[in-house]
Structure 1
Amino acid sequence: MEEIYNNAEDDKSHYLRPSTDQTGSRSSERRLTVADFLCLGLLSVFLVIGLIGLGVHLASLTEERDQLKTSLTEMTEERNKLKTSLTEMTEERNKLKTSLTEMTEERNKLKTNLNELTEERDQLKTGLTEMTQEDNNLQSLCQTTCPDGWTKFCWSCYFLSTERGSWTKGREDCRTRGADLVVIHSAEEQTFFSTFINTRTWIGLNDRDNEGTWKWVDGTPLTVTNWAETQPDNGDGYIKVGEEDCVQLLDGHSSEWNDVSCAAPLPWICEKPAQP
């Protein structure tokens, strides 16, 4: 027990009595602590500087980000405006294309109408030229003269006999005068006779070759007629006087036509071309 106690005291005194080694060790520990402190201080300074730099850089990045966001927003708006403008321009282009198509169709129609009008104008000019030529010819004919005792109407001369005879005798007399019984081919000529003749008179119309087929002495068919009411009747009236194959002009303002027997004694009217 006592030994143990002594050992314990020795151990205690050992702890209570510092040794030279322990003092040097503590001094060394104190020196390490100051160096560490200085390192930590420098590290802290560097850390602060780094944090400040990072803060500045972060602020710069934040500002740049905000600028980029603003630029992105502006570019997005500009893009949307450009898309809207592109849509409007596309619609306007389509409208212009439609208008161009319509104008092209209208131009083609106008060109077609112009060609038709040009062709019609040329035809009218040709017709006018022909009519002018015909008018000149007619005026030239109308400037012709007739022998004494003959009446002139445009390009023909007419002679009204003062004697009477059959249709055949009247035609023979006309031929001796270089003419023939009158042939009526226009309403104007018919109207002329209504003022020129005031008695029943032979004209150059008959159906002696074929009953009902009337033709002029020059062989031409009828183009103008002026038959009196119920005529021609070939003598089927109240008094039957035989075949009625020759035609006379009735007296009066209308000078209507009537078929009568070719042997009836009537005056006649001759026709021949006027002479220049």
Structure 2
Amino acid sequence: MEEIYMNVDHDKSVYSQPSTNQRAPRTSEKIFFGAIILSLGVLSVFLLAGLIGLSIHYHNSIRVAAAELSTVKANMTDLQASDKLSALTKERDQLKAKLLKTTEERELLNANLTEITTARDMLKASLLKTTEERELLNANLSSMTEERNRLQMISEQKKTCPAGWRMFSCSCYFLSSQLGSWTFGRDDCRKKGAHLVVIDSAEEQTFLSGFTKQQTWIGLSDLEKEGTWKWMDGTPLTLKYWTRNQPDNGGGDPRWGEEDCVHIRTEENTLWNDLSCNNSQQWICEKIP
């Protein structure tokens, strides 16, 4: 019995104790695989850490690049805005300058218009005043003419001229029957209490043109000063009835001498001509009756 148990135990021991040769290889494999797994794990950890670092770096780079891009864009926008603002400011200043110039021109035009309007109003007022004065003068002239005619009529009614004298207006006129120089006629008129005729109106010129039919001395000369014509009463010459190209003081021809005295009725017409005072002609005297 014991032998059986002993055999059994022996057999158990034979079956229960593993072989040393079989255990050693399995342990090494486990260690090897464990090392590999551990290495792979460590490597994975490093890879993961690297990926995380790269990801962080990438995101940081993107963020920095984005920030830089935003800065560049902002700078460009600011630059464009600044250029645009500068252009707008320049355009505004130009418009302001044009507006100022236009305003100044408008004010100058307004000032000129005001001056023109003022001058026009002054001219209108002056014209109105002149018109009123002219109308007043015309009224006065008409009144004076009427008064003169009235006085002439009264004078002619009350006054008469001496025998041989002819009345016209308010004066008496005498035409000499003899001939003589201008000075001779002047002296003869003075002896008669008269003077060589003084012509001071168109009516008197017309009357005398019909009063004499010959060349006749009148009381006009430039004996005192060459070229300065005066009447016998000292009044300067204003009303003129010279014939064509006269007076000419003889035209420089020595045959005619100095022509300082005037006669009426030339051979061609009834106008005036200067002649040498020594010529012999009729004369006309004038006096107030």
**TM-score normalized with structure 1 length:** 0.51
Cα contact 2:249–2:258 (8 A) shared by 1: yes
| Bigger mean CA offset, 196-205 vs 129-138 | 129-138
| 1:152-202 Cα shifts (integer Å, max 9, x gaps) | 112111111111111111111001111010000011111111111110111
Asked if 1:160 is matched to 2:172, the reply is no
Aligned to 1:216: 231
Deviations 1:122-169 (A, max 9, x none): 887766554443332222233331111011112111111111111111
What per-residue deviation string (whole Å, max 9, x for no partner) do you get for residues 218-267 of structure 1? 00112321111110000116663211000011246842111011111111
In structure 1, what is the equivalent of residue 148 of structure 2? 134
Partner residue in 1 for 2:259: 244
Unaligned runs of 5+ in 1: 1-117
The correspondence for 1:175, drawn from 190, 210, 227, is 190
Matched letter for residue 183 of structure 2: T
Aligned partner (choices 275, 280, 285) of residue 260 of structure 1: 275
The 5-angstrom pairing of residues 58-97 of structure 1 reads: none
Cα distance 1:196–1:237, how it changes in 2: closer, same or farther (>3 A)? farther
Change (3 A) 1:214 1:122: closer
CA–CA distance in 1 between the matches of 2:176 and 2:136? 49
Number of residue pairs aligned between Structure 1 and Structure 2: 158
Q: Which amino acid aligns with 2:242?
A: W
Partner of 2:199: 184
Q: Choose the corresponding residue for 1:228, options 240, 243, 247.
A: 243
Q: Which amino acid aligns with 1:170?
A: G
Q: Distance in 2 between matches of 1:246 and 1:146?
A: 27
Distance 1:132 1:257, change over 3 A: closer
Deviations 1:73-95 (A, max 9, x none): xxxxxxxxxxxxxxxxxxxxxxx
Ranges in structure 2 where 5+ consecutive residues have no aligned partner: 1-131
Tell me whether 202-211 or 127-136 shows the greater mean CA deviation.
Answer: 127-136
Residue in structure 2 matching 1:195, options 196, 210, 228: 210
Q: Secondary structure at the match of 2:225?
A: coil
C-alpha separation in 2, matches of 1:234 and 1:119: 43
C-alpha separation in 2, matches of 1:187 and 1:121:
23
Q: Percent identity?
A: 50
Give the equivalent residue in structure 1 for 2:79.
none
Decide which structure has greater helix share: 2
SS at match of 1:235: helix
**CA contact under 8 A between 1:194 and 1:253: conserved in structure 2?**
no
1:240 and 1:205 map into 2 onto residues whose CA distance is 22
One-letter amino acid of the structure 2 residue matched with residue 250 of structure 1: R
